[in-house]
Amino acid sequence: MAGTSTKTVHDIFQNMEYGPSSTSTATAQSWLEKHSRILGFFIDGKFSSPADRQTQDVTDANAAVVCSTVCAKAEDVASAASSAAGAFKTWSELSCFQRAKVLLKLASVLQRHSQCVSELCELSQSSVSPAVLIRLAQYYASWAQLRDTLMPEWIPQGVVAVVVSDDCSVYFLLLKVLPALAMGNTVLVVPGKTTTLPALLLAQLFLEAGIPAGVLNVVTGSEASLGATVAQTPQVSYLTYSGRQQTGEALAKAVAGWGVPMSFSLSLSSVCPFIIFDSADLDSAVDGVIELAFKKKRDFQWVLCVQESVLDSVVARLKLRMTGMKCVPLATETDRNLLDAAVQEAQQKGATLIQSCPPGTGAVYPPTVLCGLAPSCESVISPPPGPVLPLISFRSSAEGVTLGNHSPYGQAASIWTEDLTLALESAKSLCVGSVWVNCHSVMDPALPLCGRRESGNCTDGGREGLYQFLRPSHSPSLPHSSPSAINYAGFGSAASKFMIPEGFDPSSVPRFYSQLVGGQLRKADSGCSRSVLAPGGAVLAHCPDGGRKDVRNAVEAAIKVQPGWMKKSPAARSQSLYSLADSLDKRRRDMAVSIQTQTDISLEEAEKEVQLSISRLSDWAARCDKQHGGTPFLPQSGSALSSPEALGVLGVILPNSKPLLPLVSMLGAAIAMGNAVIMVPSEKSPLPALEFIQVLQASDIPGGLVSIITGGRDQLTQALANHSVIQSIWYWGSKEGCQFLQYSCVSPLKRLWLHCEEEEEREAGQNWTSSNPSLQEELWRKAVVWKSIWIPTA
């Protein structure tokens, strides 16, 4: 080491700068030199770098160019997708033991090359501990071993495309890649700028661990345009994205209509509350704030919420701790302009500043706390990039939880209190996926990481995170085809063929049915009705022609009753479902006649459907208090809880087949888990659903929890998609309807379960009469979100 530095130990401790790591730098640099500092794609087990491709530079933290990467074209993406599709048969047909063996070997390979991995991640500004990556590989190796034992009725999706944004971390990238591989899928990775080098190195290490060629492919370039190109290749079966909301929205709109299911983890755009109650250890809480808020790279944006009784003490400690802190480098000069504008606007609205030093010039900014902000301030709703932390105060613990839920996001929260009862009650009341008690940013693959609201529509990590890469063997997939020409603004505005023609004599129809909206019956009248036709074309009845106003009224009623229904004990919800099954049993003859009249099947077959519906409701009543989370074993000290929670308000567009059985199957799943539901019956066969309204009213199900709205399917689909309160839509309908939902339900973000009914009719579709347990398992998992609570110990 002689001659490598002229600084004394005293000098190093005074400025606390990082010293050079000659061994690790040489390891990473030698890998880059081996590739001549121009890295191509990793396709079919080898690197390729076509000569006629554009390149983009990869820079380190000092803006020095580390190397260049090649930008892929459509033919490169097609080659990678073909390679992955060709390798899928080989990889998926390996035994669970053989796939697990590869992932375990990867853990040892990562251990051997940990220095190179660590250095390359640091050069790419995506630092991660190799020990974390090794833990990921070991954890998912065990799930690869157990897949057929614990999930025998589920099969892999096929070729999975994993797309991440520029500033996504390597941890979140592998949290997608490893479970997809463990479940038997092949993977095509489109990394962002900071994960390009680690992704290419890891692909090489996978090959060294024994993964077959073509199972993992990496193409580099612009993640948004490449992600859309990847999804448009016919071999890709599923696309999952992790990163910023803006890029995710653009990707969703570009992919809509190609028949590829998509999921989004938008953690990088999420705004999370850091709540300090008056019972907290203030010194530890302020230490947590300093560690969390003023780093150069953060996984989430944070808002500091402090109880008024300790506000002065917290502010005093922040001022003391922030004294002398250095300015934090920003990504670009643009970020500096955004910061200056946000701070100036906050000051104009009465905010006071706590800064470690006066702001200088250039792409750096001092750690800053904005005190005295209102919850409606733009800096609280959408904090600017950089080391700026908004601070708001609250009076009571209930108000603190309300402020924590004020954001449209729902990724995570950190709460600080020495009162365990308050901690658990607050954690349960916060509408987020992860809650850290007296700690922050603790992650482990054993616990699910689930975004709520605008933070994502899928679950990563834990057993729950595996199911996005699987599908039940009985469940058909979306057809892969080119998008239709759709006027998204005018979708659902066309007149329905079931509308009553002008001059029609209402006295010629034997019955006018009512729909159920927010617990209230709305009768059909001749001015706002639609015809219900028999299979032969004769008019059987009239039913209301529901629209946007009915959906709005149904949602308003649902949000009033759903929180109370969710808080009911599972045993109480179970008894209500048993009463619903009993009410259906008492009207079994009327329901069977309604099904026979509407569908023209025999009365005997109709009675079988009613009997199966009664049995299905009883199944859901029995499952109410049987589905629960757990306390997974973690490698670090502390305890953790994982539990399923209700989504909120669901919209369900029912299929044309089996007019009663799908209704009770999905209704039972939704309300058993504590949700409210708005159901749109089949346009062809709405009578059994309308008869079922009387069954609902005779049961113990609270009014407003379930609404049944008849009308044009496209019109009601559009109304459900545009309502921000509805968290999930289950859709059976046209290819155009699936495309519209994929395009529209990214803002506001919703969880989608889409089925193209025309395709399912050709492929025999969903078998609703099946007793296969994976059918109820799939319904249950679509009806819940997961919450993880971390409780550290000393």
One fold for both 270-455 and 518-629+638-789?
A: no
* Radius of gyration, alpha carbons of the chain: 28
Task: Band the pLDDT of 312: cuts 50, 70, 90.
Answer: very high
| pLDDT given for residue 13 in this prediction | 67
> To the nearest whole number, what is the mean pLDDT of the chain?
87
DSSP code, position 746: B
User: Which residues touch 609 (CB under 8 Å, ≥6 apart)?
Assistant: 592, 595, 658, 660, 661, 769
Closest of 540, 542, 503 to residue 522, by C-alpha: 542
pLDDT in tens, 175-203: 999 999 999 999 999 998 889 999 999 99
pTM of model > 0.85: yes
Task: Band the pLDDT of 26: cuts 50, 70, 90.
Answer: very low
pLDDT in tens, 248-261: 898 999 999 888 99
State the residue for tokens 């550290």: 792
- Among 20-24, 91-95, 197-201, the range scoring the smallest mean pLDDT is 20-24
Buried b (16+ CB within 10 A) or exposed e, 111-127: eebbbbbbbbbbbbbbb
Q: Does the pLDDT value for residue 20 go beyond 60?
A: no
Closest of 320, 287, 299, 6 to residue 170, by C-alpha: 299
Task: Band the pLDDT of 773: cuts 50, 70, 90.
Answer: confident
Q: Is the dihedral of CA 515, 728, 721, 703 positive or negative?
A: positive
Within 686-756, residue ranges assigned H as helices are 687-697, 713-721, 735-744
User: Which residues touch 256 (CB under 8 Å, ≥6 apart)?
Assistant: 483, 739, 740, 742, 743
Architecture of domain 25-266+465-471 in this structure: 3-Layer(aba) Sandwich (3.40)
- Among 293-297, 567-571, 715-719, the range scoring the smallest mean pLDDT is 293-297
What is the CATH topology of the domain spanning 518-629+638-789? Aldehyde Dehydrogenase; Chain A, domain 1 (3.40.605)
CATH number (3.20.80.10, 1.10.3210.10, 3.30.1180.10, 3.40.309.10) of 270-455 reads 3.40.309.10
Q: Does the pLDDT value for residue 480 go beyond 90?
A: no
- Among the ranges 8-22, 213-227, 531-545, 693-707, which has the highest mean pLDDT value? 693-707
Closest of 533, 560, 301, 581 to residue 414, by C-alpha: 301
Distance CA 633, CA 110 (A): 23
Q: What is the DSSP string of 308-337?
A: GGGHHHHHHHHHHHHTTPPPEEPS-HHHHH
Report strand pairing: 514-517 vs 520-523: antiparallel
Q: Does the pLDDT value for residue 394 go beyond 80?
A: yes
Distance CA 84, CA 158 (A): 9
**CA 478-480-486 angle, 5° bins:** 90
Q: Where are the domains of the chain?
A: 25-266+465-471, 270-455, 518-629+638-789
